[in-house]
C-alpha cells in the first residue's frame, strides 16, 4: 500500500528528529493554499548540520519514490534557511534565528499542527 503524503511528512519529521534536528513540527496546510499540503519545519544547529540533514532527507526521498523540485533562491549566501520542495511536502531547515524571525508556525497558524 502506498504511503499518503501525510505519512511521508511525518516520517520525514522522524528522520529529522533521529538526526538531532530541534523543534521539529509538521503542519497540514492543505486547506490554505493550492501549491503544497504539508510543511515540515526543523531548527538546525549549523550549516554542517543542515547539510547532514539534507543528505538523510535525500536518502528517504530516493527510498520513497519522491523527487526534489528545483527552487530559485533569492540569495546565494546564507545558510539560515534551506527549503526542500517535494511538491505536496515542503521541508524548511532553519537556523534558530531564521525560525524566530519568520515564525512560520504563526504565519500558517490556521494549519493543523500534526507534530
C-alpha cell read off for 104: 512560520
pLDDT in tens, 11-51: 999 999 999 999 999 999 999 988 999 999 999 999 999 99
User: Measured at the alpha carbon of residue 33, what is the angle toward residues 73 and 71, in degrees to the nearest 5?
Assistant: 15
Phi/psi at 5 (5° precision): -60, -35
Looking at the chain, the whole-number percentage of residues with pLDDT higher than 90 is 74
Buried b (16+ CB within 10 A) or exposed e, 16-53: beebebeebbbbbbeeeeeebbbbbbbbbeeeebbebb
For the CA atoms of the chain, what is the radius of gyration?
13
pTM for this predicted structure: 0.91
Amino acid at each position: 500500500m502506498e504511503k499518503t503524503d501525510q505519512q511521508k511528512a511525518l516520517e520525514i519529521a522522524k528522520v529529522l528528529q533521529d538526526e538531532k534536528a530541534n523543534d521539529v513540527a509538521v503542519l497540514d496546510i492543505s486547506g490554505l493554499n493550492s501549491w503544497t499540503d504539508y510543511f515540515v519545519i526543523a531548527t538546525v544547529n549549523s550549516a554542517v548540520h543542515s547539510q547532514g540533514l539534507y543528505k538523510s532527507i535525500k536518502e528517504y526521498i530516493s527510498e520513497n519514490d519522491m523527487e526534489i523540485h528545483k527552487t530559485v533562491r533569492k540569495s546565494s549566501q546564507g545558510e539560515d534557511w534551506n527549503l526542500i520542495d517535494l511538491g505536496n511536502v515542503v521541508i524548511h531547515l532553519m537556523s534558530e534565528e531564521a525560525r524566530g524571525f519568520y515564525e512560520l508556525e504563526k504565519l500558517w497558524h490556521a494549519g493543523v499542527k500534526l507534530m
